[in-house]
């Protein structure tokens, strides 16, 4: 029996896109034992997947705490135990879908005879038995992970992303929505991400919320993390209460359930937006400083990307905080795109 480990430890959006490897691996090797190594946040996306046999969690936060407290002996023992756990599983194949040194180290410590690194760098390439570049002419969502699947000769099918909803998470999500007065159809708004250059303006989210509800009858619901609560409340206030908010009120797997149950999603370049496409929710994605893909692979999604000469700047914006590329997306333009994807999805 083939034993396969996928290593993609962090970056929620990339875990979502890399999840397309799961059904491809399962179709190709139906009897294989499939495992995934991730950090705790990623585990919430993967633990409900019946096509995975095991989700292994690297307790990075606990180890960092041990290091901060200078408990080096405990840290060394924890590292040794974790490496031993990986080795005892006797993986035949490891796919390092992250390509960083931190992921390559764990891939190497499994002892697997075949280790394939996707875009390996930081010295991690020397810990692989094979490496594969990420660059591709394809603008399709998840194109780099498709490259890896093709390199392995996997049965791709449509290469769908695979992030199932857990039953208990879905039940909790319904309770959270009802707590915001949402009992019917709703639209999810995803304004937040880790980098400000990927954000759309708060006042435009507020303006969109009311117009969207008037045009579609869908209650707008803002999603985000605990750190986004204050901004979400500002959007709610500026919208005159039209925008409901669950920012900071749902766990990640509950947020997956909220997204999966939506009739529409509008979001920036963030993992929740990619989840909308994964769950075939009609989706409008607003890109500017980043452009992870231009082809969502489905007519149920539309990418709004109006590049400037400096686009995409990624992590090095040159506009001194104006984020001109995101300002190019007008409220009416986004509303019309939302109505168009809804029409195509009926």
DSSP, residue by residue, 130-142: EEE----S--BTT
Is the pLDDT confidence value at 337 over 80? yes
Q: Is 106:122 a contact under the CB 8 Å cutoff?
A: no
Spatial CB neighbours of 257, under 8 Å, sequence gap ≥ 6: 165, 166, 169, 170, 172, 173, 174
Strand ranges inside 263-334, DSSP E: 264-268, 283-287, 301-305
Q: What is the per-residue pLDDT for 333?
A: 97
Query: What topology is assigned to 167-344 in CATH?
Result: Rossmann fold (3.40.50)
Q: How many CB atoms lie within 10 A of CB 329?
A: 21
Q: What is the per-residue pLDDT for 261?
A: 98
Is the pLDDT confidence value at 214 over 80? yes
Helical residues (DSSP H) of the chain, grouped into ranges: 12-18, 21-28, 40-46, 60-68, 72-88, 101-109, 143-152, 167-179, 202-216, 229-238, 252-260, 271-278, 324-327, 331-344
Name the β-bridge partners of 189: 222, 266
**Whole-number Å distance between alpha carbons of 116 and 93:** 8
Is the pLDDT confidence value at 195 over 90? no
Q: What is the per-residue pLDDT for 122?
A: 92
- DSSP code, position 47: T
DSSP string for 153-180: T---TT-----PPPHHHHHHHHHHHHHT
- Give residue-wise pLDDT tens across range 74-89: 999 999 999 999 999 9
- Give residue-wise pLDDT tens across range 254-282: 999 999 999 999 999 999 999 999 999 99
Q: Is 281:264 a contact under the CB 8 Å cutoff?
A: yes
Q: Is 211:335 a contact under the CB 8 Å cutoff?
A: yes
- Give residue-wise pLDDT tens across range 91-122: 999 999 999 999 999 999 999 999 999 999 99
**Token pair of 289, please?**
């400083």
**Whole-number Å distance between alpha carbons of 310 and 320:** 12
Tell me what the mean pLDDT of segment 31-53 comes to.
96
Tell me what the mean pLDDT of segment 297-317 comes to.
89
Is the pLDDT confidence value at 64 over 90? yes
Q: What is the per-residue pLDDT for 144?
A: 95
Is the pLDDT confidence value at 1 over 80? no
Q: Is 264:147 a contact under the CB 8 Å cutoff?
A: no
The overall average pLDDT reported for the chain is 95
**Whole-number Å distance between alpha carbons of 61 and 9:** 13
**Token pair of 97, please?**
């879908």
pTM: 0.95
**Whole-number Å distance between alpha carbons of 34 and 89:** 11
Q: What is the per-residue pLDDT for 279?
A: 98
Q: What is the per-residue pLDDT for 335?
A: 98
Nearest Cα to Cα of residue 283 among 217, 144, 177, 187: 187
Lowest mean pLDDT among 64-68, 194-198, 254-258: 194-198
Confidence band, pLDDT 50/70/90 cuts, at residue 136: confident
Greatest alpha-carbon span in the chain: 61
Q: Where are the domains of the chain?
A: 3-152, 167-344
Nearest Cα to Cα of residue 302 among 287, 313, 289: 287
Q: What is the per-residue pLDDT for 308?
A: 87
Is the pLDDT confidence value at 314 over 80? no
Q: What is the per-residue pLDDT for 175?
A: 98
Tell me what the mean pLDDT of segment 201-226 comes to.
97
The pair phi, psi for residue 200, each rounded to 5°, is -95, 160
The pair phi, psi for residue 249, each rounded to 5°, is -105, -10
**Whole-number Å distance between alpha carbons of 54 and 41:** 16
For β-strands 219-222 and 186-190, DSSP reports them as: parallel
For domain 3-152, give the CATH superfamily. Answer: Glycogen Phosphorylase B; (3.40.50.2000)
């Amino acid at each position: 029996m083939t034993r396969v480990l996928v290593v993609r430890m962090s970056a929620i959006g990339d875990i979502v896109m890399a999840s397309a490897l799961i059904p491809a691996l399962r179709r190709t090797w139906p009897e294989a034992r499939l495992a995934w190594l991730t950090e705790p946040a990623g585990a919430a996306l993967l633990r409900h997947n019946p096509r995975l046999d095991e989700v292994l969690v690297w307790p990075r936060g606990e180890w960092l705490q041990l290091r901060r407290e200078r408990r080096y002996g405990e840290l060394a023992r924890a590292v040794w135990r974790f490496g031993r756990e990986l080795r005892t599983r006797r993986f035949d194949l490891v796919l390092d879908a992250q390509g960083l040194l931190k992921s390559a180290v764990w891939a190497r410590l499994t002892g697997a005879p075949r280790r394939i690194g996707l875009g390996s760098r930081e010295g991690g390439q020397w810990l692989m038995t094979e490496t594969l570049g990420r660059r591709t002419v394809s603008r399709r969502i998840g194109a780099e992970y498709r490259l890896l699947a093709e390199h392995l000769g996997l049965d791709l099918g449509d290469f769908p992303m695979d992030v199932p909803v857990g039953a208990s998470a879905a039940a909790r999500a319904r309770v959270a929505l009802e707590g915001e007065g949402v009992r019917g159809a709703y639209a999810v708004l995803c304004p937040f991400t880790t980098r400000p250059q990927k954000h759309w303006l708060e006042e435009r989210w507020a303006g969109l919320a009311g117009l969207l509800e008037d045009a579609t009858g869908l209650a707008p619901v803002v999603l985000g993390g605990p750190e986004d609560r204050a901004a979400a409340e500002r959007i709610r206030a500026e919208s005159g209460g039209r925008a409901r908010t669950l920012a900071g009120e749902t766990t990640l797997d509950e947020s997956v359930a909220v997204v999966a149950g939506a009739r529409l999603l509008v979001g920036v370049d963030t993992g929740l937006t990619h989840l909308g496409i994964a769950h075939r929710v009609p989706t409008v994605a607003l890109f500017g400083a980043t452009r992870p893909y231009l082809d969502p692979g489905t007519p149920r999604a539309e990418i709004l990307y109006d590049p400037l000469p400096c686009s995409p700047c990624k992590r090095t914006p040159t506009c001194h905080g104006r984020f001109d590329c995101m300002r190019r997306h007008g409220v009416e333009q986004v509303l019309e795109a939302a109505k168009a994807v809804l029409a195509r999805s009926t």
